[in-house]
Amino acid sequence: MATVALDSNETNSPMKIRINRRGWAVLIGIPVFALTVAAAFYFSMFASDAHASSEVPSGVETVDVTVIPGDTLWSLAQEYAQGYDVTSAVSHISELNSLEGTEIHVGDSLSIPVIAG
């Protein structure tokens, strides 16, 4: 363990701190790096061409249908998706209503995308 002997003549003089080349690099480098990152963030946020649209997004138009006896996804797809591939329409209806399979029950309320006409 190192010991320090204090000379009574030097107790009132302040300690001098000496910074070497690496110390100056850290002392100056960290603030410069932080300012560079902040400037890049500021520039990228306010100088980009990305702007919010003022138009209302267009979604899928749907019609709500209550299932009656005899209805199937296939028959509903044929009725509401005229001029469109029925197999794809069945998958759209299943996806829109979060159906696990193609089984529907009387009284179920389904949202059916109106694809054509």
Global confidence as pTM: 0.47
Query: Mind listing the pLDDT tens digit for each residue in 53-84?
Result: 666 556 667 888 999 999 998 998 888 876 67
Distance CA 111, CA 85 (A): 18
Measured CA distances, 47 to 26, 58, 97 (Å): 31, 28, 42
Q: Is residue 19 part of a domain?
A: no
Q: In the prediction, which pLDDT does 44 show? A: 82
User: What does the mean pLDDT of the chain come to?
Assistant: 80
The CATH number of the domain where 94 resides is what? 3.10.350.10
Q: Is residue 3 part of a domain?
A: no
> Number of folded domains in the chain?
1
Q: Is residue 92 part of a domain?
A: yes
